[in-house]
Amino acid sequence: MTKVMNVGIMGCGNISKSYLSLAPLFRGIKIVAVADVVAAAAEERAKEFNVSALTPDGLLAAPNIDIIVNLTIPAAHYEVSRKALEAGKHVFSEKPYVLSVEEGLKLAALAREKGLRIGSAPDTILGGTHQYARHLIDRGEVGRITSGLCGVMSHGMESWHPNPGFFFLAGGGPMLDLGPYYVSNLVQLLGPVKRVSGFTSMATNTRTVTAEPNKGKVIPVETPTNIHATLEFAQGAVITLITSWDVWEHGMEPMALFGTEGTIHIPDPNMFGGEIRVMRTASDDRKVTTVEQWEHPLSKPNHGASSANYRCAGLTDMAQAIVAGRPHRCNGDFALHVIDIMTGILRAGEEGRVVEMQTTCERFAPLGPDEARALLAEG
Ligand SMILES: NC(=O)c1ccc[n+]([C@@H]2O[C@H](COP(=O)([O-])OP(=O)(O)OC[C@H]3O[C@@H](n4cnc5c(N)ncnc54)[C@H](O)[C@@H]3O)[C@@H](O)[C@H]2O)c1
């Protein structure tokens, strides 16, 4: 029987519902309590999911909690994770993990000193689709990846999020908010990055919220909302990445990676599932090949939806890894390198120069169908 690690959730906003409702799908984790600076938010979630509502300090001090899941806003991530480590708890953070390399290095040192683990979202890249892309790239399906074109573009968050202000302040913006999905996937697929460049702009200085309950409120824009970046990977590939909230419609695919013998098209890394397409150069012709799709448990539509959602997979992998004494996949070193890349791109835009990375990381172990099954309660 798998040992169960008790989990406490810090931050009871929008995304906490996903964690609380999806956790029962997984083996080896149990959410036992929640907390929020707004006590009523914690009480509401506690009632809905039959867990305890505590104060933030109470959650940090709770002797029965092994892991704190940090679902607070980006500006609070570092401080909340630091306090959790100080309190002797392992930490799993929502993205963006921290807002600077310095913050990440401090957390890494603290975790090392205390013998604790750090993990971070996104764990969508553990989804069957992205693990299959990795399998195809690693087996040389399209040769060696030499370049690529990736983009996440829309007209922003004020049309759906109930409280969208933080998205447009320092620590928000499309690179730090949505970049983690794309950059993390690129790093798990291709390995670490050596240097980056970037240009940034913002279409407007304010936005008008169109979603309830803040409909009509004018909010300031204090961070770039249009970012065009180039990433040079240690393995040699040069990839273009665009993240923008200044675009109404575009015809681009989320990720296309170009190899010496073909192209692999990868769906949105903000999702666990979706179809991979490969275009290969055969000896005598060029053809689009729909590669056989994997029977991978983390790409199956679930939870009454038409798409796959397995948030908590990264948290569960970390919990099981702690018990087994093995490395976990969505780990702090990996997340820190992703932060280094994204903040480096923003700095490149600000300062008009190429920025060398200060950190590097290992590619974590792939999560094949069997390893994925072991994460699930009904494996
Ligand atoms: N909403 C989504 O669909 C989504 C998806 C993936 C990831 N995320 C990430 O999850 C995080 C939270 O997003 P959200 O949409 O749930 O935000 P939210 O604003 O809806 O909720 C954040 C909650 O954290 C609480 N909080 C803030 N500072 C705190 C502190 N110091 N201690 C305790 N509680 C604190 C707030 O009171 C609020 O209830 C963000 O980093 C975001 O990028 C969100």
Closest to 274 (Cα-Cα) out of 252, 258, 290: 290
The domain 5-123+313-328+367-373 is placed in CATH, from the list 1.20.1260.10, 1.20.1050.10, 3.40.630.20, 3.40.50.720, at 3.40.50.720
Q: Which tens digit of pLDDT belongs to each residue from 262-313?
A: 999 999 999 999 999 898 876 545 555 666 778 899 999 998 888 999 999 9
Q: Whose CA is nearest to atom 44 of ligand 1?
A: 15
Separation CA 20–CA 282 (nearest Å) = 48
Q: How many CB atoms lie within 10 A of CB 90?
A: 25
What local confidence, expressed as pLDDT, does residue 305 receive? 83
Q: Which tens digit of pLDDT belongs to each residue from 57-104?
A: 999 999 999 999 999 999 999 999 999 999 999 999 999 999 999 999
What local confidence, expressed as pLDDT, does residue 379 receive? 67
Residue 73 near ligand 1, beta carbon < 6 Å? yes
Domain boundaries, the chain: 5-123+313-328+367-373, 125-303+332-356
The domain 125-303+332-356 is placed in CATH, from the list 3.40.640.10, 3.30.360.10, 1.10.40.30, 3.30.300.130, at 3.30.360.10
Q: How far is the CA of 15 from the centre of ligand 1 (A)?
A: 7
Detail the DSSP E strand segments found in 174-299: 193-201, 206-208, 218-220, 226-233, 238-244, 255-259, 262-266, 277-281, 286-289
Q: How far is the CA of 39 from the centre of ligand 1 (A)?
A: 14
Task: Measure CA 271 to chain center.
Answer: 10
Q: Whose CA is nearest to atom 21 of ligand 1?
A: 13
**Most ligand 1 atoms within 8 A of CB, residue of 12, 19, 73 to mutate:** 73
